[in-house]
């Protein structure tokens, strides 16, 4: 199969028929062999009924339905597991993404990228959200070292291998390009059109975008090779310790030179910094020990795994070397 389209759905009953029509015309125009995987994320409107109906008429419409709302990450993650296509495309169900962009994303994959992410250059959302997402994208780009403008676009294309290699849970769907890039996949970006929400309401308001910043810290740590807790906390501790120690050294020399040892605010401040630094270093050490003792072996993603051909014995192989 050429293409699997994974669509997370949470209360999008009105958008679904239109979305399906638009997707169908793109798929047919390109002559692809395709499937749709709709993941109903515990909708409480008629979304599931609409999807059931589509499934009844078209055998290439697959529907997975959660009993409750687990969030977009969970929906994508089960959709990915189900996806059979060589290429996997994700698109939001709310008609804000343009299915007509899918061919350009897929073409870019052909040019050697493993993941192509949409960039909503003219994003059609309220300004508060635009502002927060600008900050979020900048911070994520700086901290992750991955130069994208838009990490959290619903419209993306992946080689199947990518979606099988990353685990997207919690609210980590915002960081899919980071997770993929850190596994060694090539990530690219193209500009895509974006529309205003036509029906229904956004599920990710200003409040939820704040979580994105906390999740960034999580992402830094869970991809263990990126940053170990002790390296992270240790750096902070060294900076604070140094800042705290400088005045002490200065006052020490003054004291050796015969000056009286009076109570000095800067000296007290310095001591506080030193104590805080030691605490932070110990927290880092604890976190390091906990992470070393849990989780078992880390998961490694292979590009190739060439270990002998079928029909040859290990002994024979060795003789040939």
Which of helix, strand or coil describes residue 100? helix
Residue 9 binds which one of ligand UDP, Mg ion, none, with CB within 5 to 8 A depending on kind? ligand UDP
What angle do the packed helices 206-222 and 229-256 form, to 10 degrees? Answer: 90
Query: Residue from 14, 65, 69, 84 that binds ligand UDP (CB under 6 A)?
Result: 69
The answer to the question of residue 94 lying near Mg ion (CB under 5 A) is yes
- Per CB under 6 A, 175 contacts ligand UDP: no
Determine the 3-state secondary structure of 118 from DSSP. strand
The CB-of-32 to ligand UDP minimum distance in angstroms stands at 22
What the block records as the tokens of 257 is 């030179």
Which range binds ligand UDP by CB under 6 A, 101-109, 156-164, 201-209, 261-269?
201-209
Instruction: Return the exposure string of 105-131: e unless at least 16 CB atoms fall within 10 Å of the residue's CB, then b.
Output: bbebbeeebbbbbbbbeebeeeeeeee
Question: What 3-state class would DSSP assign to 289?
Answer: helix
Between residues 4 and 133, which has the closer beta carbon with respect to Mg ion?
133
Asked if 297 and 268 count as a contact pair (C-beta separation under 8 A), the reply is: no
Q: Pick from Mg ion, ligand UDP, none: which does 8 bind, CB < 5 to 8 A by kind?
A: ligand UDP
Closest to Mg ion by CB, 79 or 284: 79
For residue 310, the 8-state DSSP code is: T
Q: Which of 27, 32, 51, 72 binds ligand UDP (CB under 6 A)?
A: 72
Candidates 4, 96, 133, 140; binder of Mg ion (CB under 5 A) is 96
**CB of residue 72 vs ligand UDP: minimum separation in angstroms?**
4
**204 part of the interface to ligand UDP, by CB under 6 A:** yes
Residue 236 corresponds to which tokens in the numbers above? 């902070």
Least gap, CB of 146 to ligand UDP (angstroms):
20
Confirm or reject binding of residue 41 to Mg ion (CB under 5 A). Answer: no
- Residue 96 engages ligand UDP in binding (rule: CB under 6 A): yes
**CA atoms of 137 and 131, how far apart (whole Å):** 10
8 binds ligand UDP (CB under 6 A): yes
Cβ atoms 2, 32 nearer than 8 A? yes
Write each residue from 238 to 257 as x if it is in contact with Mg ion (CB under 5 A), else as -, in one continuous string.
Answer: --------------------
The residue written with tokens 């599920």 in the block is 203
* 12 counts as binding Mg ion under rule CB under 5 A: no
Helix (H, G, I), strand (E, B) or coil at 105: helix
CA 287/CA 31 separation, integer angstroms: 52
Residues in 11-30 at the binding interface with ligand UDP, rule: CB under 6 A: 12
* Residues sharing a CB contact under 8 Å with residue 189, sequence separation 6 or more, in sequence order: 116, 117, 118, 119, 148, 149, 150
Tokens representing residue 193 in the block: 């059109």
Q: Which of 61, 63, 75, 155 binds ligand UDP (CB under 6 A)?
A: 75
- Alpha carbon 132 to its chain centroid, in Å, reads 17
Report what 150 binds from ligand UDP, Mg ion, none; CB cut-off 5-8 Å by kind. Answer: none
Three-state DSSP state, 301: coil
* Tokens matching residue 289: 């020990």
Q: How far is the CB of 162 from Mg ion (least distance, A)?
A: 23
**Interacting residue ranges for ligand UDP, rule: CB under 6 A:** 8-10, 12, 41, 69, 71-72, 75, 92-94, 96, 154, 202-204
**Interacting residue ranges for Mg ion, rule: CB under 5 A:** 94, 96
């Amino acid at each position: 199969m050429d293409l699997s389209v994974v669509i997370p759905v949470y209360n999008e009953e009105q958008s679904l028929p239109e979305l399906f029509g638009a997707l169908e015309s793109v798929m047919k125009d390109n002559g692809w062999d395709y499937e749709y995987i709709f993941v109903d994320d515990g909708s409480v409107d008629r979304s599931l009924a609409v999807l059931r109906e589509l499934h009844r008429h078209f055998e290439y419409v697959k529907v997975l339905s959660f009993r409750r709302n687990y969030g977009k990450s969970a929906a994508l993650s089960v959709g990915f597991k189900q996806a059979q296509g060589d290429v996997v495309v994700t698109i939001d169900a709310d008609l804000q993404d343009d299915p007509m962009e899918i061919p350009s994303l897929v073409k870019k994959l052909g040019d050697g990228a493993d993941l192509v992410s949409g960039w909503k250059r003219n994003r059609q959302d309220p300004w508060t959200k635009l502002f927060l997402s600008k900050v979020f994208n900048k911070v994520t780009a700086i901290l992750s070292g991955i130069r994208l403008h838009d990490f959290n676009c619903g419209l993306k294309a992946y080689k199947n291998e990518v979606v099988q290699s990353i685990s997207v849970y919690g609210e980590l769907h915002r960081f899919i390009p980071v997770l993929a890039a850190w596994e060694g996949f090539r990530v690219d970006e193209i500009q895509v059109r974006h529309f205003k929400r036509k029906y229904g309401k956004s599920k990710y308001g200003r409040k939820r975008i704040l979580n994105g910043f906390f999740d960034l810290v999580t992402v830094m740590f869970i991809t263990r090779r990126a940053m170990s807790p002790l390296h992270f906390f240790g750096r902070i501790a060294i900076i604070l310790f140094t800042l705290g120690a400088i005045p002490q050294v200065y006052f020490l020399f003054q004291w050796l030179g015969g000056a009286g040892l009076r109570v000095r605010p800067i000296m007290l401040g310095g001591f506080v910094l030193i104590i805080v630094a030691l605490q932070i270093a110990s927290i880092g050490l604890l976190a390091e020990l906990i992470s070393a003792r849990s989780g078992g072996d880390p998961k490694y993603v292979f590009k190739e795994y060439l270990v002998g051909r079928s029909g040859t014995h290990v002994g024979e192989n060795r003789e040939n070397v």
